[in-house]
Amino acid sequence: MERIQCMKCIHYQVTFDPQAPRGCKLYQFKSATMPYVLVKQSTGHDCTSFQEKTKKSDEGDGGGKIDFNDPKYWG
């Protein structure tokens, strides 16, 4: 079984349920195991819906952070 890094997927979610802290928004389930394992056990196939999250630094806007040390805010 190929290991899929669910935490890097746009469909991965962290739940507040201590019994099932991991989930998949696409397949609408939460589980104690990583979602790709549950998909493989349930369907017999590897998850084909993995879509890597875009990193904030890749967006070119500085990650949306404001530098309050910039003099333009204090002029």
Contact yes or no for 27/35 (Cβ under 8 A) = yes
pLDDT tens-place string over residues 42-59: 999 999 999 999 876 555
Per-residue confidence (pLDDT) for residue 37, from 0 to 100:
92
Q: What is the mean pLDDT of the chain?
A: 86
The pLDDT score that the predictor gives to residue 1 is: 61
Look at residue 56 in the predicted model and tell me its pLDDT: 65
Rounded Cα–Cα distance for residues 8 and 44 (Å): 22
Consecutive sets of 10 residues in the chain, 75 residues long: mean pLDDT of each? 85 94 94 93 91 72 76 82
Residues, the chain: 75
Cα–Cα distance between 50 and 39 in angstroms, integer? 12
Give the torsion sign (CA, 55, 58, 62, 64): negative
